[in-house]
Structure 1
Amino acid sequence: MKKIIIYTILIPALLFSSACNEEFLERLPLDSPSSETYFANETELEMAVTGVYNRLWYFPVGIAWFLSFDFASDDGWDRNGSDLQALGRGEQNADNGYTNGFWSHFYRGINRVNFITSKGDHLRQEMDPAKYDRLVGEARFLRAYFYAYLTELYGDVPLVTTNLSLEESQTPRSSKEAVIDFVLSELNEIKDQLPMNAAEKGRVTKGVALALISRVALWNERWQESAAAAKELMDANAYQIDPDYEGMFTFAGDNSSEVIMRIQYLRGVATHNMPRNFWSRMALGHSNKKPPQDMVDTYDCIDGLPIDESPLFNPQSPFENRDPRLNYTLVVPGSRLVNWIYETHRDSTMTWEFRGNEKIRVPNIEAAHAYASFTGYLYRKHIDVANYPTDVGSTDQNLTIFRLGEVLLNYAEAKVELNQLDETVYNALNAIRGRESVQMPAIEGGKTQEELRNIVRKERRHELGMEGFRYFDIRRWRVAEDIMPGPYRGRVNRYGGGGWLSEAPMIDEMGTPNYDNISNADEMVVVETRAFNPERDYLWPIPRIELETNTALTQNPNY
């Protein structure tokens, strides 16, 4: 009753006041900024641009947004009963909370940038023009970044670059080509307004803009543009391959010569719980996000041969003589995680714990815990042992979103697709493979275009594993329909068994394992059975709520 009475009294009062004084509803707030007066000075512009950066703090399923995609690929599975699981099973729809969240999150960021570009022009005459161009350039970069992901996920999307009135809100989808034209045009226009390296870590730079151009152009088969942007960045010599692959994804990565940009976190303002999601129960984690046996088996041996061809591969000691990036990226049985030897076989009821210089036997929680890793493996990348024990659930460890290794692979792939198989392609690949902590054999010259194409695709999986690229790679290569369907497998893990495959699986040219030849394949854990409909699943559904509120939108096919 109180609410009804209040509304009954208040509404006539407002109507009466507006009739008596037309300026009543035009009063600006006295204790906070107003959209009508905002950008009165340089400080307010800086605050607004910082607000756009805040859109990078997004954790749709408990981990950083740009990493979460890979748990809908053949490289990952999310144990939580979230809507992300539906993507792997091909069961997503227009009400899926995970896919819907990205639409609203990115468009909120875009709206912030549109406000800046619409309201801030006058400041260029009132502050240092170069600083104004840099700040607005950073914001425009982030808008282009958001649009690049929107088009990869949903295809055609509304291209909105100004503040819209209510009358203009019924906005149709623009073609993906038009959006990508805008993205690349924006990036090329702003890149020279940005320094190659930032005075403050985490800010957008010319190097970041060139890295995104190379990525977006590659994703959209604009090979020449991708190669040109990558080469411009490489020739600038502002970044070098980091000899320490594993350290690049820890706290030490803040000072890595290879890192182009990291998302910045700050205790008390923005933290994340990646260790909780990735680590084992004994390390105070929940083992939520986990890789499959398939990803383990894709890594070559140290002689550069796949495990089904290399004489160095021993099925009973499957992690020996392997590409070092396997152990830098994943936690495998028998390896150390924080203070314990990680072991997941059901017969391993005891394990080793490190206490200073001592090593003692202790009960192994991972062997029988209902919520230990279902696949027997965990992710190591992006987590620093310094997070243990106090920061497992809330760390301010920064996360890498652009680095030189990706740019080199973008360059190599673009050149291969252009059939320009010159020495620079081999140099790019071998710079990555030859880093001090990896030292995989160099790729020798004389390869065909098809051979190099497969080498690049394998290298992307090995070098960029769990960095948020695999999901987009298998979709843009149009191979998801071949790779995704079928069982998502973990290790052999039955009581009384050895815990290993009886022999190496068959590995195809792109590094994808096939287990049809394995005599004990039926002993592998099957986490779930996945599906992929090529007539639908290469795009996400447009959120139902968006279709209902913006009737100019149309749905993607077969949703």
Structure 2
Amino acid sequence: MKISKIIYIPVLVIAGAFASCKQNYLDIVPTDRVSDAAVLGDSALFEDFVINRYMSIKLQDKEGEGTNPGFGRGFEYAMWSALTDESIYNNDDNTWLVQRGQLAPENTGIAGTIWGRSYRSIRECNYALTHIDSVQMSAGLRERLTGELRFIRAFRYHDLIRNYGGVILMGDKVYNLDDDLSDAALFTRSTIRECLDYAIAELDAAAPLLPTANDNSWPLGRATRGAALALKARLALYAASPLYNSGSWADAAAAAKAVMDLGQYSLAGNYSQLFLDASSNEIIFCRQFAIGARHVCLEIANGPNGYNGWAGNTPLQNLVDAYQMDNGKDITDPTSGYDPQHPYDNRDARFYATILYNGATYRNSTVQIYTPGGKDSKDGPSNWNTTKTGYYLRKFMDDNNPIDNPWNVAGLQPWIYLRYAEVLLNYAEAQNEAVGPDASVYNAVNLVRQRASVNQPPLPAGLSQSAMRDAIRKERQVELAFEEHRFYDVRRWRIADVTENEPAYGVDVTTDGNGNYTYTRKVALSGRSFSNKHYWLPIPRSEIQASNGRITQNDGY
């Protein structure tokens, strides 16, 4: 739905020519949009306007294929993982410059739309909140929609804060082009603490106004009380982290515990199926796709070239090495049983649910990344779509969807923004930092590790606070892979100068023709680089120019 004000522009010459006519031919109501008056005069249209705030417009190439982006890119072509040590995007699409530390205000790659998209949405929420009391509707609906709008606004600020640090707080003001834009507050960035306090307060205000659960009257994909509290828990965790240094670990633990105490959520038993079923009780907040709504189909975008896929987001060896053996030991532990000649045997079950590797069973066949002759290698069909890393993405893929020509078979996988496993790991991290590795920390992590389809051994007893910290970080890396956490985690922990300066490793697999394979580590993408300025994104130069230079840039840019 397009919603905009109808603006009448007087054209004096033409108006004079038609002065003798009784009908003003310029006074035509557009048929491709809904007027402000219509939206504010109809509670159903107003609710539609609110629902559409979960969406956004396409601001950059490859942000959507027939549908509008949601809060972020999600599944659309390059994932945020392609800016981390999780993966590289096989076809670049403006991701490699981020990996190589070439970000600049004039060249932001795929990271250039967050500022504009977020503030556009904030203005739209402010508009709706300004007028909601004038719309005829029940008190209950008004309360829920108000909670929704404040949640969406807080989510947009959360996205701004975690990418840029301190940003501009707009309050409830709705600015128009004909307003006096000389107000310094319109261009003054608040501190990180002020921004976090504001967003968290918005979520505190939204939570009691929202329903406790999605149901027939409040469909999946709309914010609930749990969504507001889970987003608050994430922000509180960020606030306490070293990069932000603006909150307490105890507050972060309490915020996560509040979600746990709701009793609304539990871990899905089947890790793989979790990402295919929007009704899973683990999902707290997600984006859904409608049947028949055309969008990028994950299977062709990321599948192996031997299956006519495009490779897309190809996992790095850096991530592969993070998965433990199924006995709970790191592959670097000499007692783990890891065999470099059979590197994919006996690994954490989440490895098999996330990554396609040489020899993996997939769609009634076997992935063949080896050379010479492997169908999913450069010797296979469509070799320009061959993985550069030696791996393909398995997570999120639905084998019920075709790979070939799927454009009229839009995948219905949800894009998950918030899920219960994250809440448990948020709690474990914050509680460990606040009081050390007590029983509740162990319980939270082990719940995630020991869901039915994963069944990793529990963490060893007697870990120190530091050892537990490392264990939780490893758990986040494998549990939340490809879900837009790693980029922000390594930054908030202030370890990105280490992890993001590691080469982007892949593997070459060769065969002797007798079923024996040799695995040779390689650099899949050259020039990977990270410097201190990259802890925050640069504000696009166009945004600073639009403010006549009044918005201050992040340091180093």
| Stretch moving more, 433-442 or 382-391 | 382-391
- Residue in structure 2 matched with residue 216 of structure 1 by the alignment: 235
Q: Secondary structure at the match of 2:112?
A: helix
Q: Secondary structure at the match of 2:304?
A: coil
Determine the C-alpha separation between the residues in 2 that align with 1:327 and 1:154. 35
- Residue in structure 2 matched with residue 295 of structure 1 by the alignment: 319
Aligned letter for 1:230? A
1:441 aligned to which of 457, 482, 506: 457
The structure richer in helix per residue is: 1
- Residue in structure 2 matched with residue 5 of structure 1 by the alignment: none
Determine the C-alpha separation between the residues in 1 that align with 2:328 and 2:202. 41
- Residue in structure 2 matched with residue 341 of structure 1 by the alignment: 366
Distance change >3 Å, CA 349–CA 549, structure 1 → 2: closer
Aligned letter for 1:85? W
1:110 aligns with 2:110: no
Counterpart contact for 2:98–2:109, Cα < 8 Å: no
TM-score (norm 2): 0.85
Q: Number of aligned residue pairs: give it.
A: 511
Superposed counterparts of 1:24-63, under 5 Å: 29=29, 33-35=34-36, 38-55=39-56, 61=62
Counterpart contact for 2:308–2:381, Cα < 8 Å: no
Superposed counterparts of 1:183-222, under 5 Å: 183-199=199-215, 200-221=219-240, 222=247
Counterpart contact for 1:282–1:365, Cα < 8 Å: no
Distance change >3 Å, CA 246–CA 549, structure 1 → 2: same
Distance change >3 Å, CA 391–CA 137, structure 1 → 2: farther
Q: Secondary structure at the match of 1:65?
A: coil
Distance change >3 Å, CA 193–CA 350, structure 1 → 2: closer
Aligned letter for 2:80? F
Aligned letter for 1:208? A
- Residue in structure 1 matched with residue 555 of structure 2 by the alignment: 557
Determine the C-alpha separation between the residues in 1 that align with 2:86 and 2:285. 24
1:142 aligns with 2:152: yes
Determine the C-alpha separation between the residues in 1 that align with 2:148 and 2:58. 16
Cα deviation per residue 1:527-548 (whole Å; 9 max; x = unaligned)? 32201111x1111111111111
Cα deviation per residue 1:50-103 (whole Å; 9 max; x = unaligned)? 220123989865686246222111111112232222111000111224222222
- Residue in structure 2 matched with residue 321 of structure 1 by the alignment: 346
- Residue in structure 2 matched with residue 7 of structure 1 by the alignment: none
Aligned letter for 2:40? F
Distance change >3 Å, CA 195–CA 420, structure 1 → 2: farther
| Stretch moving more, 482-491 or 161-170 | 161-170
Distance change >3 Å, CA 171–CA 148, structure 1 → 2: same
Superposed counterparts of 1:14-163, under 5 Å: 29=29, 33-35=34-36, 38-55=39-56, 61=62, 65-66=73-74, 68-95=79-106, 96-123=108-135, 126-161=136-171, 162-163=173-174
Determine the C-alpha separation between the residues in 2 that align with 1:449 and 1:26. 72
Counterpart contact for 2:151–2:228, Cα < 8 Å: yes
TM-fit CA distance, 1:238: 0.9
Unaligned runs of 5+ in 2: 1-9, 65-71, 241-246
Superposed counterparts of 1:132-281, under 5 Å: 132-161=142-171, 162-165=173-176, 166-168=179-181, 171-199=187-215, 200-221=219-240, 222=247, 223-250=249-276, 253-269=277-293, 271-281=295-305
Counterpart contact for 1:490–1:526, Cα < 8 Å: yes
Determine the C-alpha separation between the residues in 1 that align with 2:85 and 2:511. 27
Aligned letter for 1:226? A
Aligned letter for 2:205? E
2:397 aligned to which of 360, 367, 383: 383
Counterpart contact for 1:99–1:541, Cα < 8 Å: no
Determine the C-alpha separation between the residues in 2 that align with 1:85 and 1:350. 26
Q: Secondary structure at the match of 2:113?
A: helix
Q: Secondary structure at the match of 1:173?
A: coil
TM-fit CA distance, 1:29: 4.0
2:528 aligned to which of 527, 530, 535: 530
Q: Secondary structure at the match of 2:385?
A: coil
Counterpart contact for 1:58–1:65, Cα < 8 Å: no
TM-fit CA distance, 1:36: 5.0
- Residue in structure 1 matched with residue 7 of structure 2 by the alignment: none
Q: Secondary structure at the match of 1:414?
A: helix
Counterpart contact for 1:62–1:274, Cα < 8 Å: no
Determine the C-alpha separation between the residues in 2 that align with 1:343 and 1:220. 45
- Residue in structure 1 matched with residue 417 of structure 2 by the alignment: 401
Cα deviation per residue 1:93-115 (whole Å; 9 max; x = unaligned)? 11224222222222222121111
Distance change >3 Å, CA 30–CA 280, structure 1 → 2: closer
- Residue in structure 1 matched with residue 472 of structure 2 by the alignment: 456
Counterpart contact for 2:372–2:379, Cα < 8 Å: no
Counterpart contact for 1:344–1:366, Cα < 8 Å: no
Cα deviation per residue 1:124-181 (whole Å; 9 max; x = unaligned)? xx32212111112112211111110111111222212320143137522222222211
Counterpart contact for 2:283–2:416, Cα < 8 Å: yes
Counterpart contact for 1:260–1:403, Cα < 8 Å: yes
Counterpart contact for 1:153–1:540, Cα < 8 Å: yes
Unaligned runs of 5+ in 1: 1-9, 352-362, 502-519
Determine the C-alpha separation between the residues in 2 that align with 1:117 and 1:70. 34
Distance change >3 Å, CA 228–CA 500, structure 1 → 2: farther
Determine the C-alpha separation between the residues in 2 that align with 1:29 and 1:174. 42
Determine the C-alpha separation between the residues in 2 that align with 1:26 and 1:141. 40
Q: Secondary structure at the match of 2:36?
A: coil
Cα deviation per residue 1:481-524 (whole Å; 9 max; x = unaligned)? 111124212113457596544xxxxxxxxxxxxxxxxxx65xx2
Determine the C-alpha separation between the residues in 2 that align with 1:85 and 1:258. 33
| Stretch moving more, 262-271 or 277-286 | 262-271
TM-fit CA distance, 1:26: 12
- Residue in structure 1 matched with residue 539 of structure 2 by the alignment: 542
